[in-house]
Amino acid sequence: MVHFDEADVDHNRVVTAFSGQPQQIRETLFATASEAFARIDMRKHTGVHPRIGALDVCPFIPLDGPVDPNFAPSIAEELAGAYDLPIFLYELSETGKHAADLPSLRKGLFEGLIVRDLEPDYGPKSANRRLGATVLGIRDWLIAMNLNVQTRDPSAVKGAARELRHARDAGEPKLKGVRALGLLLESLGITQVSMNLTKPDETSADAAIEWLEARTGPGVPELIGVIRPEDLPKATRLPVSPEQVVR
């Protein structure tokens, strides 16, 4: 089983990645959720990254063959019942009740979620006032990465992220499937473009980084979570530790 954790004070969130057989995944997830839910109160939470809940998003990514289509719904149903928690199925598990993508489901953040009626796939139709809601489901592989820029002025990274999204939507092949947000990391005195490469088989991490640096100036890339061996030839700018490579 691969297991990797990463956190920082500005995002105020923990990225945890682990792999294993279905029963191992279920047990590890419920143990992780129990620890998080005992400690996190979303009414007191702040952070620069969009979020709607204490267990904000929980993706399951098949590494070796198909996954039982009932795997994600069964976990969602059990988790929702145990914690009185609204759960939205997304990506390959989405059922047509709502948006399928994470950015759309996070619109309004926790603060907006808590004041409106919801249509989750499981759980109550209002947010848990302490835990918020969770987005969960099977999705395709993606690469999560950042470009850190040595300036306190967020306008450059916010503008670059906005330009990237516009170029992607206009059909720029180097940016196919790239999502980007510009953020200020106050404690470090720097800014950051936070990215997800949702089509890593078609998009190069190195090319996306170079495209951004042409607009922000030189930056320091970092990998968040894990990466596949086949992604490494197109991600030479990313520092990768051995435990981050899924084999």
Is the confidence at residue 3, as pLDDT, over 80?
no
140 DSSP assignment: -
Where does a domain end: 138, 168, 186? 138
Where does a domain end: 138, 164, 197? 138
Cα–Cα separations (whole angstroms), residue 134 to 58, 98, 146, 203: 7, 14, 23, 28
Catalytic status, residue 49: yes
Question: pLDDT tens digits for 34-56?
Answer: 999 999 999 999 999 999 999 99
Is the confidence at residue 203, as pLDDT, over 60?
yes
Whole domain around residue 81: which residue ranges?
3-138
Is the confidence at residue 25, as pLDDT, over 90?
yes
Is the confidence at residue 1, as pLDDT, over 60?
no
- Strand-pairing partners, residue 182, are 193
What pTM was computed for the model? Answer: 0.93
Percent of the chain's residues with pLDDT above 70: 98
Question: pLDDT tens digits for 66-123?
Answer: 889 999 999 999 999 999 999 999 999 999 999 999 999 999 999 999 999 999 999 9
- Choosing from 3, 11, 45, 49, the catalytic residue is 49
CB distance 177 to 203 below 8 Å: yes
Tell me: do 112 and 210 sit in the same domain. Answer: no
- CATH code (residue 201): 3.30.70.670
Q: Which of 75, 69, 119 is nearest to 98 (CA)?
A: 119
Q: What is the tally of structural domains in the chain?
A: 2
